[in-house]
Amino acid sequence: MAFGGTLWMLILYMIIFIHFLLFARGVYYHFTRTHIPPGITHSIKLHIFSFAMGYFLDLGVFLEKLGICHRFVILRAVYDAMPTRKDSKLIRKDLVFDGVPVRVYWPKTSPAGNRRGIIFLHGGAGLIGSIRTSENVCCSIVHESDSVVVSVGYRLAPEHPYPVPVLDCLTAAIHFLKNAKEYGVDPNCIAIVGESSGGTFATAICQELVTREDLPRLRAQVLIYPMLQTVDFDLPSYQQNQLVPPLFRERAIKFGGRHLTGKDINVDGVIKGAHVPYDLREKYQKWISADYIPEEFKARGYVPHAPAPFSEELYEQVKRSAETMFAPLLAEDDIIRQLPETFILTCEYDIIRDDGLLYKKRLEDNGVPVTYHHLPDACHATISYLGWGPLEFPSSKKSLQHVAQFLKGLYK
């Protein structure tokens, strides 16, 4: 009995010691490798979020090395534990659309006719996030736009690497378009809304559906700070914001590699552009170049760098990253010009800000109407903090207001 008690005490001390080491590493990493610009409002909140995310990621890596679970399990559990909105003014049902779990939200008020429909795709790099984590955002969209919202619970990598997450979203979207009237929705008034990687998926789905004559046409795509290309990770926003949390440049590429392959990749080689063959780099130059970024977005600094020599080994590892379902900015013009009216929101202190700017230019060059909003005091993922009370950012509500205003204006 005494031996058993001593063993449990040793285990407890070991757990405490491990957490202390992780905490100390997190403090060191946060204050030596993180930069939070003074232009971000309520920056103390970002310090808290950044440290917490780093800590739980480190804990996940430690558990992964012990063979207990993969590194994203802990972070998923933490995000799912965050408070969500309990709203008695809404009806919600958990359903399954052709094998894909969804949560459908309806306003309780009776409409004069069928409502507009919204397909919502949450962010999280295809690795974290869930229906539950997007609950606050979806409830707010329902109220602000008087719409029926379908939140898609797609499968996540690394258990289900690309293209599984986006194909799940595509399956759910097709089901909703085919059966919109069953949910009180006008099939000709459906928009797709995506945040971060959800914006990537929304963009890819719009491109996939433009040639589908058997389905109602999507009315609009709403892209909230989407990641859209995998060719150039040295654009101005990637340089300026490479150390700004929560989406550091290295972290974004690590996450993208796990989503794409289920494994770790050579991050440094991708940052330097060694994964892009010379012929493809020349082709993509007409769409992806710092020359197309307005000068005001270079004011915080930009130094052009020549790409590293091409690596065949790295290219073979990540070559599917050039598929348009993974990097929609690489779609051909004949697809781009068929896309529906588009809303794009970017944040100044976000590494993928310039992806949105480049896609805006491509759409406008091809005659697609674009509504664009830029948040000058915000970082990546700002809308996901909506409903977190004192931890919410002012830009969280601003981003929702811009989205809701656009959605309401579509169906006048």
- Check 130, 145, 147, 196 and give the catalytic one: 196
Cα–Cα nearest to 216, from 180, 179, 177, 186? 177
DSSP 379: E
Structural contact between residues 223 and 344, judged by C-beta atoms closer than 8 angstroms: yes
Angle at Cα 344 formed by Cα 34 and Cα 272, nearest 5°? 45
Tell me the β-bridge partners of 95. 102
Active site residue 130: no
Number of H helices, E strands in the chain: 14, 8
Active site residue 380: yes
Q: For residues 206, 411, 124 and 253, what is the CA-based torsion angle, rounded to 10 degrees?
A: 50
| Token pair belonging to 14 | 């070991």
Structural contact between residues 318 and 263, judged by C-beta atoms closer than 8 angstroms: no
Question: CB count, 10 Å around CB of 405?
Answer: 14
DSSP 310: P
- Check 350, 354, 355, 377 and give the catalytic one: 350
> Which amino acid is residue 162, in one-letter code?
Y
Tell me the β-bridge partners of 324. none
> Which amino acid is residue 217, in one-letter code?
R
Q: Cα-flanking dihedrals φ and ψ of residue 275, to 5°? A: -90, -5
Question: Exposure pattern of 84-105 as b/e (b: 16+ CB <10 Å)?
Answer: beebeebebeeeebeebbbbbb
Active site residue 196: yes
- Check 30, 143, 373, 380 and give the catalytic one: 380
Structural contact between residues 395 and 385, judged by C-beta atoms closer than 8 angstroms: no
How far is the C-alpha of 358 from the C-alpha of 350, rounded, in Å?
14
Structural contact between residues 68 and 124, judged by C-beta atoms closer than 8 angstroms: no
Active site residues: 196, 350, 380
